[in-house]
Structures are given as C-alpha cells and as structure tokens.
Structure 1
Amino acid sequence: MYGDALMRREGRGPWWSNGCVACGEANPAWRCEDCFGGQMICSSCITERHFAEPLHFLQEWQDGYFQGRTLRDLGLRYQVGHFRGEDCPFVHLTPRANGFVVLHDNGIHVIDIDFCGCPGSPSEVEQLINIGWYPATSTDPSTAASLSLLRRFHCLNLQARVPAYDFYNTLVILRDGAGLNKPPNRLQQFMNMIREYRHCQMCKRAGRLHDPTGIAGTEPGELCIVCRACPHPGINLPEGWEDAPPEIAWIYRLLVSKDANFKMKGRDRSTRERDPTLGPGWAYMVANDLYLKHLSKYVAEDEISHCVSFAALWTANNKRAKGLRASGVGSVSCSRHELFRPLGTGDLQKGERYCNMDYLFFSSLIGVTLLSIVSSYDIACQWGRNFWERAKKMPSHMKLSESIEVLFKVPKFHLPPHIKKCHGPYSFNYTRGVGRTDGEGVERNWSWLNWAARFISVMGPGAREDTIDDLCGFSNWKKTVDMGNALLRKMVLAIPKAMIHSRAFYAFSEGLREGHESDLLVWEKAVRAWEVDSELENPYEYPEVEAESMADVMSRISSEDHARVARDGAAAVLVKPAAFLLAGLEIEEQQAAVLLAAKRKAMTTIQATELQRRRTLLLGKVSALRDIQETYMPGLRQWITQQHPLPPPANNAKPETIKIYLPSSIPAAARNSVCIAGLAGHEDSLRNAQASEALRDLRSGLRTRTFAHQFKRKHTAGQGMWTKSRTLLDGIEDRIRSAAERYRAARAGLMALRGAGVWEQQFRVLGKDDIRGMNERLMNDQEKEDARKARLLAGLAADDDEAAVDAYGEAVELTVLFNLETGEGNRLLSWIWYTTTGSGDVAADGSLHPDIRVEWTKARARADRWREELILVDEEMRRVLVFCRWKAQWWTERVALRPSASPELAEGLRAYALEQAARETAWAIQWHGKWSAVELEEDDDEFTNDPVEEEEDIF
C-alpha cells in the first residue's frame, strides 16, 4: 500500500486532469516540491506564487516524467528590500553572471536577485540579513546561507555531531544525487559563514550587542556561560560571607578540576595571519598571543613528574607528535557541576608541562576573590609542590592572592595508582568541606569534546579555537538548562544516604562505646590532628603486614585444623550440666561441619575416607551424649513419644542428621518438665558466649581473607605458588563458613530460649550479604557484566556455571576487595563489625584491633561527606535561584544601554533582552518548584549541624 502510494507521486496525481489548481488552465505541467500538496499548476501561476518564495524547487512534466527546474528557468528575479511584487525604481545591479547562490535547508539554489538602490537604503549585507540570508562576505556578496540553515546546522553539529563537511555535501546530494548537475562549490564560504554565525551568536547571547562599545569592547572571558551554582561574590553570595566562622565557611569554597587531553590534537595547518581567531580570549580558550609570550620563557621545561602508573602520561603525550601545532589541550572546569571555566582552556605544545597547566589554572581564576579553592588534578601531588613560587612568576593580572587557601586533591578514580603516601592527604573522601565531589568532572567533559577531535584536528588555528569555544559553550548551556534536574537528583540521593551513613556511624560508635570509649576519644583526636597536619600518621590507613606473617597464618590454620580432626569424644568423662551442654554444642558444630563435607560435589578417595572417619567419631560422641542426657533431661524420652508425628528414627549411617535435643530444642511450655532446674539458663549463657565467639571468629576469618587476597595478588607467581595459595584460601573460607554456621545456630538457640527482644540488636540475623570483610563488598551488576564480557573475549562461556557454586554446591556471592577511593563513600559496613566483644578484636593492652580503628574513621568520613553534600547542594540551589534573579535584572538593564539606536534596532534589542529576562525568571520559578520539596529547613538539625559539633556531642 505505501509503496504504491509513493509510486503514484512519481506521476501527476489524481487532480491534474482538473486543470491548474489556481486558474483552471488545462494540462498544467508544473508543480513545486516545497509547497504543500504537490498539486499541478501552470507556468504563469507558479511564477506568480513564487515571487516571495525564491528558495523552492520546481518540477516540470516533460517527456513523460518530472524534470527538475528552478525559478530562474522561468525568468524570475527576486527583488530584495521591497514588498512582494514591488519593483525598485533605483534597482542596484551588481554584475553576477553566474547568479546568486543561496544555501538553504532544502539544498543549494542559484537565483537572480536585485538589490534596492533607493536613497538611504540599507547596505546589501543588511538587506540580505533583513530577509533572513546571511552573506558570505561584506563586499559585493554573491553567496548567502539562510539563517534557518545556519541554525539547523549549528544544532546538528553540536547535538548530533554532524561535521560541516558532511552537512554541506548532504545539501549537494539533496538536489544532485546522480552527480549530473552539480551546484557551484560553496564549501569554503559555508565554513566561513558558520564561524561568523557562531561568533555573532555568542556575542549576542552574552549581551555584547546591547553594549554601546559593541563586540569590539568584549572583555576577556565575557562570552562564557558561567556556572551559576558556583560561588560568585556580589552576585549569589550573602552579605558578610567572607566573615563566616570556620565551621561553615567551607560552603563558600570554589572547587575546580583540571586535566590534559591528548586526543584534541591540532595539525600544523594554515597560519594565524590567514586564519585568525574571531574572539581571542573572549570565551574559554586563552588569548594565544599572551599565552605564547608566557610559554616562551619555558621552552626547555620538562613535563610534570609523576608518581602514578598510568602509562598514558608519558606515552600518549608525544605519540605521533610530528607535524602537530598542538599535542592536545589542557582545561579547567568546576568540579561539582562540570562547566568549563572562562579562559581555562588552551593548547599544549609538548606534553603536560608546569608552564601550560599553571597558566590555564591561574587564567581560569582571574577576578576570583574567594578565600578557599580546592584544585583537583590527577598529578596534584607533584603539581602542588612549589606552587606559590611558580605563582609569583605569573603575569600580573593573573596572580592569585596568597591569602587564598588552595588545597590540592587527586580525583577519586586516579588516586589508587599513586604511591601509598599520596592516598590520604590527596583524597576527597577524607577532606572536610567537599561533600561527595569526586574531582572527575573534567574527564567527563573530555568525553563530550573527543567526538569532535577528528575534524577539529585538521582545522587552522583560528577555526580550531573558535570551534572549541563553541563546543565548550554548548556543553555549559546544556548543563545550565539541566541544572534544575541535576541538583534535584543530587539532593534526592543525598538525603537517604546522609541518614543511612550518619545512623550507621552512630550505631558503630555505640557498639564500641562500652568498654572502649577511651579508644574512641583517642581516634577522634588523631583524625582531627591529621586533618590539620597530613604529615602525621594517617588514621585511614590499614597497618602494613609483613610478608613473613603469611607463614604464621598458615601455621595457625594448620594447627587448628589438626586439633579439630584429632579431637575425640568425652564419653568416659563424668560431666556436669555446663559440660553436658558444651558437649551438645560441640556435637552440633561437628554435625554442621560433617554436613558441609558431605555436600562436596567431587570427593577423592582420601576425602571420602576422612568423611567416614569423622562420621564414626561423631556417632560415638552422639551415643555418649545420649547416655548422660537422661540425667539432665529426664523427661525427654516421654516428651518425644508424645510428639505427633514422631521424630524420624536415628540414622547411624549419617550421624550428622541425628537430632540433638538441648533445652532450646524443647518448647517453652514443656521445658520445665523435660529438663532439670537451671539447665535452660545454663544453655542461654553458653549460647550467648557461643554467638559472641562465633562473631569474633567470623571477623578474624574475614580479616585473614582480605589480607590473604592482597598478599596473593601482590606476591604469588607461578602455578605452584598459586596452588598453595588456593589451598590456604579454601581453608580460610571453611573457617568463615564454620563461624557463620555456629553463629546462626547460637542465635537460633537464643531465639528459642528468649524469644524476641532487645538482645536482637546485638545479635542480628546473619545473611549472606553480611559476611563481608571491611574492605570487601558484593560485586555489582556492572562488574558481573564486565566479568561476563571478559570471559567472552577470552574465548570462554559467558556464564560459568561452575563458578556460580562452590565445591559444596552452594551459590557463590562474588565479592571484590574494596578500593581505597572509588565508591568508598557509598559503602555500608556490615553490622558484624559494630559489635566488637571478644578477645580477637582486642590487643594485649586492651585497645581495639587497628582494623576496627580504620573502619571507624572511614565510617566517620562517610557520614561527614554525605552530610556536607546535603548542605552543599542546598546552598547551590540557593545560589542558582539568586543568580537567576540577578541575571534577569541584568538583562532588563540592557534595554536602555543604547539610546541612540534606531527605532527598529531599539525594538529588537529590547525584545531580545526582555525575552532573556523572562527565561531567567521562568527558570527560577520552575526550579524553585522542583526543589521546594527537598530543600533543607534552617532548623533541620539532623542534616545542617556542623559535623564536628555533632561528633563532639557523640562523645
């Protein structure tokens, strides 16, 4: 159906027999491709209809098919500067033998036009722009592009990433797909018009056309779209902000990130004389002349040294550097909102040098009068050295006041490869007043710019800088438009996270308080002292464990395994009630261990023999327990016979399945008639101790597993060493599993004996997700997907069924060692670390294990950063609304800046300024409505209290 309908349009359609749709003349032969309906019309009517539509393409029915025609073929001349159909009595003719070329949305047109030559008439350029055509030159123009085309390309270039070359050739094939009637080549003119149009749009949107000094009076960086959520004194900061006390002054701090991008290369094409920059230093790219003048003092300077293991820093920098004017670009953006800073972007000539990065950093801060700045840089540990000495060598207009505090940090993703001593001092996670900033925003900006690297690299110097300015501006504009949603998302995430981590830290501290309050006070003082002086011992750093201790770990595990296997029953020993219960608990533990061993999927002969031997020993212990059980549970036999249905008979072949009746196995109503007095109370005490010891052993096993994995990854090489380490890790996993099962059994016994109660706050339900080391977490879905892709790339099955279960057939929840930086702020410590009773967590001098101290300090930092994030986002919302109101007023004041303008120009200036002011007001109203439900109240103590003061209250 669709195909037939399309084919019918290749003919004259159903109405041609009715004659011309305008005058009724028989057998009309013309139709317009761009007019609505595609109806047939005669030659005189189609000429009449298109006096005001010179950019339509026509078709004539000839030789049995439609053939392309133009209005020029009909002899039409378009009169510019007069109403439709009105000829100019003083027509101004400029010899254009080949016609006037116009680039429009539907293709490339060649038409004949007449300019108005009336006295006082506008120039040819103004006449063309008045009708919406942008001329390619200001002198005797013979080529123009419609403003709608330029705007369409501008949007497609920025949003859909369509290069100018491809777009222009699309216009060519729209009319000449067969290549038989190519239009005049206007590619270069199109490139020039695009550059000029972009530049004029930037000046217009920055209000330069409202200023009496015009475009020529533009100040450095004035064409930038600034971040309205960042602090701007005199615009969106309250009066007296500079006198704010230290506990809240951090909310007025500027956070910036900088980095180098070596994909944004620039080839040595053309010269600046032939291809100048239209707005040198007016937007994001620094003014080239001043920049090169500064760099000329450091011709022989080497690249910045580093302590990281990213090979890109010394290989990609100079890769294929021959024939390049620029090996890349450096840039500075705000860390929290990722907008490019004014005058913060510039070319790199040879790698990443201090002279380049210093100049861009200080240039991006021209005019900043804040008291504190946090600078993020992937090699900040080196760049921060001698910073103020280098600052003194900057040009006078770029020097930063030494009263400004500058903190140097490394982005979270880039920090782990640094040497260990960099981790604490340069970490965002442990820096007060930065919230959940990660410092990686400039890297995300590279992902936006890199798509354009291919065609930008072949541009001349001026076109390259103008294009980068335009791309940076569009990126900033998109983020400004999305500011309402972006800050809302941050606040919606921060509110529950702040609550969760604050409460988790409080619970952790409460669990440690009893018996260890002095430890907490020592840790708190150590953290605060380190925040003042990072040269002190890092409280967030796990203590180093020497490699020799690995042998100690193996020896201890081997000794415990030997003792467990060699241990025999106590049948011949006269037992007391407590000893009877201990024997019962021991049998339960051994039953669980044998049950686990029996689940092994593939047993060797030795393993099968060992399992049988353990069953034999276990059966003897069960029989011995039965012999003495009647002494302490005299009513047990009678109670069992009264059960409906009866319990299954004992299976001596599998003694691990035989029910061991202890007081907790008997319902509370029958317990007194079955057991001697006080027996249930004895079991309650033993179960409580069993749960505490099991948690202690579980924590000890998890600490050992973390260390063993770190040791294996660092020191194990070769098949033999790997096999030995695998055996060790299997043994550790068995200990962890055993401790978990003992805890669950102990908790089940306590539940039966006590019922629900406050004791459950200490001994919670232990799930699989809870069995995690301090530096471990479950693998997330993305990591599982990455592992699946890695298996495919390695030629293996995408899903490893064998890896999904362990040797005992149980599901495996994959864990990963938690990185020091990446994702640290989202980690929640398992509840098992909140209760630290038990000798395994306490050193000989009574202090807690160092790992507990590290986790406490990290939990403290997580709670602090999320509370800060809440306060920062709330402050940023306030700044944005204040900025919108200020900007609306700013645009309103533009209206009267050019009183001498003609009435038509004055009206246009006024209309544009009022439109911008209305948009700013609309943003403020819309965003305030979005944020009103999540804005913090001034008396919201849970979130707005200063973290330090709140911590003081805890202690």
Structure 2
Amino acid sequence: MKQWSENDREVYLRELLRMDGYGINEEDTMCRQCGIRPHQYRCIDCCGDVRWCLECTLDLHITNPLHFIEARPCHSTKNHCFNPKRAFNDDFLIVDSSGLHEVALDFCECERAPSHSLQLMRARLYPATGTNPRTAASFRVLRQFHLLSFESKCSGYEFYNSLARLTDNTGSPSRDRYDEFMRMIRQWRHLKMLKQTGRGHDPAGVLSTQPGQCALLCPACPQPGVNLPPDWESVPDKESWKYTLFLAIDANFKLQRKRVSSEERDPSLGSGWAFFVDEGKYKEYLAANWDYKQDRSTCMSHDAVDKPDREARGLAASGAGTIDCARHDFKRPNGVGDLQLGERYINIDYLFFMSLINSKIRIIVVSYDIVCQWHKKLFDRMMSFPHQMHLQNNVLYITFLVPKFHLPAHIEDCNLQFSFNLTKGVGRTDGEAPERGWASINPVAQSTKEMGPGSRRDTLDDHFNDWNWKKTIAFGDRMLTKIKEAVPARSEHRQALQDFEASIPPTVIEEWKLAVENWEKDASQPNPFKTKTKAVSEQSARLQLAAEAADDAVNQNSTYSHMSHPSVMIANGLQLEDDQRRLSADIVGLGQLPTTKQLTNILERSNSLRRRIAAWTENQTLYMPHATQERIKHTYNGSPDGTASTRVTDIQLYLPSALSKDVVIDESLRIIEWKLREGQAYDALEEIRHVLRLRSHMYKYKDRYSRGVKANTRSNTAISNATTRINRASEKYRVARAALITLAPGLELEQPLWEHALRRLNKEDIRGLSEGLYGDTEGTRKPSWIWMTYNTISDDEGDNPALNEALRVEWCRARARAMRWDEEVELLQEEMRRILAFLKWHELWWEQQGVAASSSDAATNEGKIAYSRKQASLRRMLHERFSVTWREIPRFIELWEGKVAV
C-alpha cells in the first residue's frame, strides 16, 4: 500500500479525472461505429472508452436497454462534461442492479401473443403486476437482493434507496417504485421456495401443498423410509439409541412485530407450508386456551414460568418460538410460531406437537431451558389438542433435558436430573442449537418488525430455508471436523477412566457400576451422582462444639467451668474478622469522592466494631493470656486492649492460628478453631458456587430481557453486586484455608486428606460450572475444582465414608464423560451414513419428478425435466463430495483405536 501511495496514486487519480472529460483528442470527433456522425454519447456499462452518435448508440443497445448512457451536450460548446442521458423514452421503469431505468418497450400485440406480464417474464423481467404492468425488475436484481438479504441482512428499503442513488445521487426527485419492488421481491421469494421444493412438479398443483412441505429437511436427522435401514425398528435396545430424534426449544424476543396491517390485508402466500404454523388454526387454539394458568416455578425464578405474560405494548408479536434439530441446528417444519405476550406453555406446546405430527421416531430427546417446569403435565395438556397432534403410540421414550449453557442457572437437583453430560445415549449434544440460529436471524428483526403479518412470516420462512440449505452444503467439512475432535477425545477420556480405576478395588467399581446402571434404567432409583451425607458448614461445626460444651458442663470436666465455653470466644473472633474484611472492602469501594452520608456510615461502623473488638480482647485474655503479650509486643501508640489509634480493620485479633507454635496455649483451642475454620471454608465455597449460579442466571436474563438504558443499568448493578459477593467469599475462603494450613501440623485430624478438597483458590478457578479457561472449547474444558469439592460429614460407618462417596461421584462423572464421547463417535458415524442415504434418496426423488412431469405445453414440460435433472445432479454432486471428504474416516478411527485398549 505504501508503494501504491508513492508511485501510483497520482496516476490513478488523473485517470479517473480524465474519464469525466472528453478523454480523447478533440480532433477525433466522429462516431467510432459509423464514422459519419459526430459522437456525443458513451455507455458506462460497456467495456472500453468508446463514443458513439445517437443512432449507433440506440442500435448497439437494443439488447442492452438497461445500460446507463451519458451524453455531452455539443462538441462545439465549451461544456466538455458528460451528463446522464435518457437515451430512450421514459415510458416504462425497470429496476435493475445498475439502477432505475426509464425505457420504452413495445409489447407484441399479435393474436397469439402471450400477455404483457408473460412477455416481460420471458425477457427476464419480473412485472410488478399482472395487469397492464408499467414497472418491472430484472431477474438479476431480484436474485442479487435475494442473496444479499441472506448474507448481509440488507433490508429492501436500504437496497432500493441504494439503487435510486446509483441512478441519480443529486437528490433530484424520481419515480418511487419502492412498494412495487417489495411486492416483486416477496413474490420472487415465494416462487423460488415452491420451485426449489418441487411444488411446481406436482400434477395436483401448488394448492395441494401440505403443511411443512416447503421446508428443507435435515439430512442427518432420522427419517423413516428415507435414511434409516429397513430393520431400524427391530434393532436391539443397545443399538436403538442411535435413531434418537433430538429437538431443541427456545424463544426469541427480538423477532417482534409491530401492530401494523392485518391478516386480511396482508395474508401469507402459503400459510403453514414451511416453518411457521398455519396462523388460523394456531390462533384458534390459543384463543380457546388463553386463560390456562401456569404453575409457579419450583426451580430458580424463571421469568418464562412465573411471568409468562411479557409486556407487549404496541406489538402484535412479542417474539417467536421455535423447535429446532438439536444436533444439526436445522429449523423444523411447522416448528415456528409467533408469541403474543411471552413464553407461555400454550404457545410452546402447540409448536412442539405440530413439529412431531406423523413422526414415527421411537426415542425423542427434548432440550429446553425451562424443561424442568414445562415438561410437568405436558401429556395432560396434550389432551386439549386435536387427536392428529398427539404423540403417536410408537414413541417409547422421551427424555427432557436442559441445554448445557443454561443448566448452571438451575438448582442442584436440576443439574443432576436434566444434564446432557449425565444422560445416557445423547453423545456430546449441547441443546443450544436455537441460540446459534438466533445469531444469524436477529439482524433481520429490524426490517421484519415493520412488516405486515404475512410478509413477515414469508420473509422469515425464506431465511430459515436458506439457513437450512447452508447447513446442508456445509455438512462435509463440518462432520469431518467433529469426528476429528471426537475420536481423540474419546481415547483421552477412556484412558482417564482406566487410570482412575487402577487404584480402586474391582469389587468397589462393580458396586458403583451397578448403582449407576440402575439409575440410568430407572430415574427413580438413587442418583449415584448425588451425595448422601450432611454438608459441613460453620454452623454445623458450632453446633457440634456446643454439644461438646454441654456434655462437659454435665460431666463437670471442663477447664473453663467458671466461664463461657472457648468455642464461643473463637467463633466471635471469626465473626469480628469477617466484619473487618467487609468494612475494609466497603472503604475501598467508596471511591475518590465519597458523600457525607457514606463517610458517616463508615465512621459509625468503625466505632462500633472497635468497641466490640475491645470487649472481645478482654474476654480473650482469660483463655489466651499469651495473645495479650503478643498484642503488646506488636502494638504501638495504643493500649493493649486493641483500642489503638490505627484503623480498626488493621487490628490484629491473634486467634490460635495467628500464634506461633512456640506460644503455649491449650491444644483444644487450636482444635476448636480448626473445626470452625473448616466449616468457614466450606461455607465460603458454597457461597461462591451459589452466587456464580445466580450471576449466570443474571447474564442470561440481561441478554434476553434487558432493553434500554434503565433496564441495562439495573442489570449491570445486580451483576456487579453479585461479583462483589463472590470476591468477598473468595477472600474469606483464602483466609480460612491459610489458617487451616497453619493449624494442621501436630493435630490429629478426622479428615487427613482435607487439602484435596480445600485446594488453593486461584483467580481462574472462580468460574461457572459451564465456563472453561481461555481457549477451552466445550469438548476440552473441565469444570473448576470448586464444583468438585465434597463438603460432607457422613452418618454412616466406615474407614472414611465421606472420601469413598467423593470417589464414587468422581468415578461416575469420569465414566459419564467417557461414555458421552464414545456415543458421540458412534452418533457421528451414523449421521454421516444418514446424510449420504438422504442425498441418494433425494436424487432419486428429483429424477422421479422429471419422469412424472406432465404439461400440455411442451416447453414447460421440457423445463420441468431439465430442472429436476439439475436438482438430482446437485444432490449427486454433494453425495460424491461428502463421500470423498469422509473416505479416510474409518482408517482414522482404526488408528486411534489402536492407541488405547478398549
């Protein structure tokens, strides 16, 4: 670029300027075509810098009426500039990708001549109306905008105005054909959809189109009679899971529609033919069940459950709900519908059952971010639907799960019951397919928001079909990438499981295996991933110490019979220490310009805390006289009782863990602090985990519902407060763990392996359950150790039951990870087989359309046969391309299988 700016920039600029002038020797004034008449015209769309006279310009552009012609007023005048020139009479306006063209057209008026609109179509010009058309658009501009709207999400308004400025960028008024252009592009979208799905080949005509018949199907999903083996229904249970249909449900509140136009003024061109359900039947069902009352959530406070009637002032649709293919991100036929107020069950139920009409699949997995609530009474609600919408009797198993990214925001029971990671037969499916689709369709929302109901549904149907088509042609590289990731990961996790089992007796492994297999067969059996022991906490430790103090008092064997029990003194010291941390954090959070009210509050809290510390140190002297000596040794300019002039947050409390081993104190005091510190550490970890789950929920709520400055500020404040709580709990944990490390040497501990559970807490460890480290992917990330810590005290007998239970849960998870990757490899191989089978079936289907093509018009019949062969050839080409791309996969798998014994 530097070289260009130094050497070529001036040259290029001069050349551009030269083109605006006469550009040639002024003595060369004759037309380059005839050589007789003076040249005054040039075409900016033709190649070369050639000038012609008017007659030659017209002759040369008979077949190019949409080229732009520029004219120079007169060679003899001093005005040497060229200006746009209407070389033809402004009788007819044609919209083309080069601009808006006013041209003269002579229609054939012969007795056997087709209508004016058909004459335009045969000239590759699309008429704005079928009766006496005065405006048309070239096929080229319609095709260009069609693809541009898919890739850049450009609106029709922006595109049309770009053409208008391309025609004349001076602001001069021109004939407005925006409404005509939008009408033409809508019809173009619809006709292309009918053509590409074979509806033009049906002898019964377009009106015989069945619901969902114009939606492009997912080649990788199981489709009986298309891509499944003939005996798929009779395979053993251990193989049947590979024919599972995975569905994902979600709602998008950006796909709104304003309350403009109506169904009568703007109906769909094919209601229910593609992805959107038939609007009439849909609205009829909603009206009949509108008063259905949803039960409140028993999980987190999901707004989609507790507050389904989302505010929708001025909106005819507050969003859209969809049913997607969960593994391949395809939109399902008749799986999309408008939401009127919010994510109500009645809307989602209708879309779910409509997407499964006539489905013969026996095993279904359904993913939904509120599935823990939605699936309750689902089959009771199904009874309110017409019989043809009921799930067929062939459905043997239906499993409800929560998407992986959304699951951490749920309570612990949901994390165990609805987890993809713990459920058999789902591979590495994450259930987040709709979220990826929303990222593509959301930019369209600004233009569809202003459309009438029919226009909006037709436009979104078209975009969803394009999304499905792009997914189809990308299957070759996409599946190859997945299998290359899955096979090594399977070997890695198999090896990890074997390494884990190497140190555990085989009889114990068999016992655990039996328990987890029983749970997988019957969810009512005890969940092996769930701990059964009581949680360690600071309160439980205090309760235990209080019980011991009561026994000492009864038996009169306490050294401190004339005083309160020392556990109370140490517990109060820990509380003062925590209050110091809180006050210190709040002082730091004041900023550079605190208000008078804030300063007053801090000062009052400091004074109160100082008095409490002074009272506590007097009591501490009775139990720990050496602490007083340490305080005197290290305190300057203040009294021994801790009321020094230094900041109250810096006052040392000298608990047993703060004293050196050389200081002689009662050993029971160290044991008491150990127990309290252990509970304090587990409490802090539980607080971190709880707030991380809460913050994850806040992030999702903000992304989905917060719009505008006020709502976003409120959400950001809540998230900031949650982060502050996490930081405070993290500091509490680090202090407690440091004290445990100091106290541990020399103590006979009930849990000698405590350091395995209470590890060092680094910044990167503080992350949500579904969050990985920087650079981690979904398949490579591992949960932070804070989610794997077992804060338990067992009521059972045994050498170390709490540790045994922790090992069991960890083994179950390691087994689940290995199984999911093993299933993923098998699923991917089956899906690749199904894709090839689908393409072969679709090729034959298109060939049959050509054979069955019948029309009274020979030219039309020939066109149908040619198009069917073209589509069959396209499927054959994709089949060959994918087969070549995947040909080395069996060998790749064999090589990896040889690395790890199975």
**What TM-score comes out, normalization by structure 2 length?**
0.74
Is the alpha carbon distance of 1:350 and 1:17 closer, same or farther for their aligned partners in structure 2, counting shifts above 3 Å? same
Deviation at 1:35, TM superposition (A): 1.1
| Offset at residue 451 of structure 1 (A) | 1.3
Which of 271, 285, 292 is 1:301 aligned to? 292
Match of 1:31 in 2: 42
- Residue 873 of structure 1 aligns to a residue whose secondary structure is helix
Please say if residues 703 and 773 of structure 1, whose CA atoms lie closer than 8 Å, have aligned partners that are also in contact: no
Change over 3 Å in CA distance of 1:469–1:728 after alignment to 2:
closer
Further displaced range: 115-124 or 405-414 = 115-124
Task: Please tell me whether the aligned partners of residues 519 and 527 of structure 2 are also in contact (alpha carbons under 8 angstroms).
Answer: yes
Structure 1 position 907, deviation (Å): 2.4
- Report deviation, 1:704: 9.3
Unaligned 5+ segments in structure 2 are 1-9, 74-78, 546-565, 572-649, 664-676, 692-720, 746-753
Larger Rg: 1
CA distance in 2, matches of 1:334, 1:213: 31
Match in the other structure for 2:23: 13
Task: Answer yes or no: is the 8 Å Cα contact 2:299–2:410 preserved in 1.
Answer: yes
Distance 1:21 1:777, change over 3 A: farther
Identify which of 341, 344, 349 aligns with 2:335. 344
- For the 8 Å contact 1:277–1:465, the answer to whether it is kept is yes
Judging changes above 3 Å, is the alpha-carbon distance between structure 1 residues 245 and 282 closer, same or farther for their aligned structure 2 residues? Answer: same
Closer/same/farther in 2, CA of residues 205 and 944 from structure 1, 3 Å limit: farther
Corresponding residue number in structure 1 for 2:80 = 64
State which drifts further: 54-63 or 311-320. 311-320
Please give the alpha-carbon distance, in whole angstroms, between the structure 1 residues aligned to 2:211 and 2:294: 28
- The answer to whether 1:535 aligns with 2:524 is yes
**In the TM superposition, what is the alpha-carbon distance from 1:941 to its structure 2 partner?**
11
- SS for the counterpart of 1:367 is coil
Corresponding position of 1:370: 361
Provide the residue aligned with 2:453 in structure 1: 461
Matches within 5 A, 1:248-259: 248-259=239-250
User: What's the counterpart of residue 208 of structure 1?
Assistant: 199
Provide the C-alpha distance between the structure 1 equivalents of 2:836 and 2:729, rounded to a whole number of angstroms. 63
Deviation at 1:737, TM superposition (A): 11
Partners of 1:20 and 1:40 within 8 A in 2 = yes
**C-alpha contact (below 8 Å) 2:680/2:736 kept by paired residues:** no
SS in 1 for 2:332: strand
> Do the aligned partners of 1:15 and 1:39 also contact (CA within 8 Å) in 2?
no
> Are 2:270 and 1:279 aligned?
yes
Question: Counterpart of 2:58?
Answer: 47
Which of these residues, 139, 151, 171, is aligned with residue 179 of structure 1?
171
Deviations 1:709-743 (A, max 9, x none): 22466599999998897365245258679999xxx
Cα distance in 1, alignment partners of residues 848 and 361 from structure 2: 27
**2:412 is aligned with 1:420:** yes
Aligned to 2:877: 922
1:3 to 13, 19, 38: 13
SS of the equivalent of 1:849 reads: helix
Q: Gaps (5+ residues) in structure 1?
A: 74-97, 560-603, 618-700, 741-770, 779-811
Q: 2:798 aligns with which of 814, 838, 844?
A: 844
Q: Please give the per-residue CA displacement for 1:600-641, whole angstroms capped at 9, x wherever unaligned.
A: xxxx99999x99998999xxxxxxxxxxxxxxxxxxxxxxxx
The counterpart of 2:535, out of the listed 545, 552, 555, is 545
Instruction: Please say if 1:268 is aligned against 2:259.
Output: yes
Cα separation, partners in 2 of 1:861 and 1:31, compared to 1, 3 Å: same
Letter in 1 for 2:807: I
CA distance in 1 between counterparts of 2:106 and 2:155 reads 33
- Residue of structure 1 equivalent to 2:586: none
- CA deviation profile, 1:640-689 (whole Å, cap 9, x unmatched): xxxxxxxxxxxxxxxxxxxxxxxxxxxxxxxxxxxxxxxxxxxxxxxxxx
Give the C-alpha shift of residue 392 in structure 1: 2.6
Taking a change above 3 Å as real, the CA distance of residues 340 and 712 of structure 1, as seen in their structure-2 partners, is: closer
**Partner amino acid for 1:388?**
F
1:195 maps to 186
- Alignment-derived partner of residue 932 in structure 1: 887
Q: Which residue is 1:912 aligned to?
A: 867
> In the TM superposition, what whole-angstrom CA distance separates every residue of 1:457-495 from its partner, at most 9, and x where no partner exists?
111111011011011111111111111121111111101
| Secondary structure of the corresponding residue to residue 72 of structure 2 | strand
Matched residue type, 1:531: E
Distance verdict in 2 for CA 1:491–1:155, change over 3 Å: same
Q: CA deviation at 1:707?
A: 6.1
Aligned pairs for 1:402-417 (under 5 A) are: 402-404=393-395, 405-417=397-409
1:253 is displaced (CA, Å) by 0.7
Query: Within 5 Å, which residues of 2 pair with 1:378-389?
Result: 378-389=369-380
| Counterpart residue identity of residue 877, structure 1 | M
Distance 1:722 1:3, change over 3 A: closer
Structure 1 residue 521: deviation in Å? 2.4
Alignment partner, residue 442 of structure 2: 450
Q: Which sits farther off after the overlay, 244-253 or 293-302?
A: 293-302
Alignment correspondent of 2:211: 220
Aligned CA-pair RMSD? 4.4
The answer to whether the Cα contact below 8 Å between 1:30 and 1:41 also exists between their aligned partners in 2 is: yes
* Aligned counterparts of 1:718 and 1:235: Cα–Cα separation in 2: 52
> For the structure 1 residues 385 and 303, does the alpha-carbon distance in structure 2 shift closer, same or farther, using more than 3 Å as the test?
closer
CA distance in 1, matches of 2:651, 2:354: 75
Q: Alpha-carbon deviation of 1:218?
A: 1.3
Q: Which residue is 1:878 aligned to?
A: 833
The code of the aligned residue for 2:55 comes to S
1:502-513 alignment, distance < 5 Å: 502-513=494-505
Does residue 1:815 correspond to 2:774, yes or no?
Answer: no
- Pick aligned residue for 1:890 from 840, 845, 848: 845
Is the CA contact 1:108–1:175 (under 8 Å) kept in the aligned structure 2? yes
Distance 1:25 1:408 in 2: 83
CA contact (8 A) 1:843 1:849 kept: no
The equivalent residue for 1:593 is: none
* Equivalent position of 1:570 in the other structure: none
CA contact (8 A) 1:703 1:774 kept: no
Q: Give me the whole-angstrom Cα distance separating, in 2, the residues matched to 1:507 and 1:540.
A: 20
Displacement after TM superposition at 1:256 (Å): 0.3
Return closer, same or farther for 1:133/1:714 CA change in 2, 3 Å cut-off: closer
- Check conservation: 1:881, 1:924, Cα contact below 8 A: yes
How many percent of aligned residue pairs carry the same amino acid? 36
Matched residue, 1:525 = 514
Supply the distance in 2 between the matched residues of 1:372 and 1:523 (Cα, whole angstroms): 27
- Superposition deviation, residue 143 in structure 1: 0.9
Deviations 1:69-113 (A, max 9, x none): 12215xxxxxxxxxxxxxxxxxxxxxxxx6211100111111111
Residue identity matched to 1:729:
R
| Corresponding residue for residue 120 of structure 2 | 128
Mapped partners of 1:871, 1:418: distance in 2: 30
Q: CA 1:220 to 1:739, structure 2 compared with 1: closer, same or farther past 3 Å?
A: farther
**Displacement of 1:396 after TM fit?**
2.6
Taking the aligned partners of 2:659 and 2:347, their CA distance within structure 1 comes to 74
Q: SS of 1:424's equivalent?
A: helix
Equivalent position of 1:149 in the other structure: 141
Q: Say if 2:127 and 2:133, in contact at 8 Å, map to a contact too.
A: yes
Name the aligned partner's letter for residue 471 of structure 2.
K
TM-fit CA distance, 1:251: 0.2
Q: Deviations over 1:326-353 (max 9, x none)?
A: 1211110000001000000011122222
Partner of 2:731: 726
2:388 corresponding residue in structure 1 = 397
Quickly say closer, same or farther: Cα 1:943–1:48, change in 2 above 3 A.
same
Which residue matches 1:689? none
- Count of matched residue pairs: 735
Q: 1:332 aligns with which of 323, 347, 370?
A: 323
**How do residues 232-243 of structure 1 correspond to structure 2 at under 5 angstroms?**
232-243=223-234
CA contact (8 A) 1:874 1:935 kept: no
Is the 1:776–1:815 Cα contact (8 Å) retained in structure 2?
no
Q: Show the 5 A alignment for 1:546-625.
A: 546-547=536-537, 548-549=539-540
In 2, Cα distance between the equivalents of 1:131 and 1:53? 11
Q: SS where residue 413 of structure 1 aligns? A: coil
